[in-house]
Amino acid sequence: MTALHDGPAPTAADSGANATERFKADKLGGVANTPKERVDLLAREVLGAVHDTIRRHKVTYEEYNALKAWLISVGEDGEWPLFLDVWVEHVVEEVATEHREGNKGTIEGPYYVPGAPERGSHGSVPMRENEPGTPLVWTGRVTSTDGSVLDQAKVELWHADDEGLYSQFAPGIPEWNLRGTFSVDAGGEFEIRTVRPAPYRIPTDGACGKLIAAAGWHAWRPAHLHVKVSAPGHELLTAQLYFPGDEHNDDDIASAVKPELILDPKPAADGHGETVVYDFVLDPVPA
Ligand code: MBD
Ligand code: FE
C-alpha cells in the first residue's frame, strides 16, 4: 500500500484529542438544558443497571479498580467520543429515527467536520493527486417521501482513505481530503467522484483498544462512506453506505450496518473503477 503521508504515525491520542475538540466546538451548545426530572430518571436507571450487574456477577475490588483505571484513561486519551459513538450511539440513532418513512440512517461517529468545500452537483470530492484506492462514481437523486424532487438538497460526504485514515484526525493528510459538500441539480440529481475507502480499525493504542484486547473483541468497522443529506423542510439524514461482501458488515464493532445501506457497485464501463447508484428519500419535518 502506498504510504501517502510522511511524518508521524497516527495515534489514538491524536485522533482522540481532535475528536474531543470537534465535539466541544460543534455540539456542546445543545447539552445544557436537560430537565432535572430526566437526569434523575436516567441517571438512577443507569446506575441501577450497574448495581445489578455488580451483584449478579459479584464484581471484586480488583475489577472495580480496573474499571476505574480504564475510565480515567478513556478521558486521558480523549476517547469518550470514540467510545460512545462505537458502543452507544447506534441505539440513540434507532430511537431518534424510528418514526421515519424515508431513508434509513445510521450513526454519525466521531469524525464529521462541518463546512467541507462545495463541489456543485457533479464533481469530485477533494483528493490528493494519485489518491490511492478504487475510483468510485456515485450518482443519485434526492426526493421527499411523497416522491417530489428536492432540488435544494445538499449531500455532505466524508470518509476514510485507502489506509482507513480520516483527514483532520490522522496526521499528514490535507485538511479537507475526502470531505466535500455537494448540491443537486434541478432534477434533484448529483454525481460524486471519489475513491473506495478501506475498512476502518479503531485505534488499538488507546483506551478503546485496551478494552477490545482485554475482552477479546475485534476492532473493525466495514468500509463505509459517511453522508449527511439535508433539504429545506426535511429532517436531516445522517447515514453511512457500505460495500457488499465486506467481512465486517455482519459484525461491525459499532453495530451501524443496516441492509438498506449496502451499495451495489458495478465495474465502470471504461474499465476504470466502479459506478454505483444510490438515491435518498427524506422525511418532511413533522407538522
Ligand atoms: C469511525 O470511522 C466511525 O464511523 C465510527 C462510527 C466510529 C469510529 C470510527
Ligand atoms: Fe467512519
Could you give the residue ranges of the DSSP H alpha helices within 88-217? 89-97, 207-215
Per-residue pLDDT of the chain (287 residues; tens, 9 = 90+): 445 555 677 888 888 888 888 888 888 776 668 899 999 999 999 999 999 999 999 999 999 999 999 999 999 999 999 999 999 999 999 999 999 999 999 999 999 999 999 999 999 999 999 999 999 999 999 999 999 999 999 999 999 999 999 999 999 999 999 999 999 999 999 999 999 999 999 999 999 999 999 999 999 999 999 999 999 999 999 999 999 999 999 999 999 999 999 999 999 999 899 999 999 999 999 88
Could you give the residue ranges of the DSSP H alpha helices within the chain? 12-27, 36-57, 61-76, 80-87, 89-97, 207-215
Look up cell 445544557; give the residue.
Answer: 32
What pLDDT shows up at residue 233?
A: 98
112, 228 Cβ separation under 8 angstroms: yes
What pLDDT shows up at residue 106?
A: 98
CA 188 to CA 287: how far, in whole Å? 23
Domains for the chain: give ranges and CATH numbers. Answer: 10-287 (2.60.130.10)
What pLDDT shows up at residue 249?
A: 98
Q: Which atom of ligand 1 is nearest to the CA of 160?
A: 2
Q: Per the structure block, which three cell numbers stand in for 177?
A: 481530503
Q: Hey, which of 87, 89, 168, 202 would you mutate to test ligand 1's pocket, going by the most ligand atoms within 8 Å of its Cβ?
A: 202
Query: What pLDDT digit, counting tens, does each position of 264-276 carry?
Result: 999 999 989 999 9
199, 234 Cβ separation under 8 angstroms: no
CA of 165 to the centre of ligand 1 (A): 11
Q: Ligand 1 pocket, 107 CB below 6 A? A: yes
CA of 55 to the centre of ligand 2 (A): 36
Name the residues around ion ligand 2, CB cutoff 5 A: 109
What pLDDT shows up at residue 34?
A: 87
CA of 47 to the centre of ligand 2 (A): 30
Q: Ligand 1 pocket, 221 CB below 6 A? A: yes
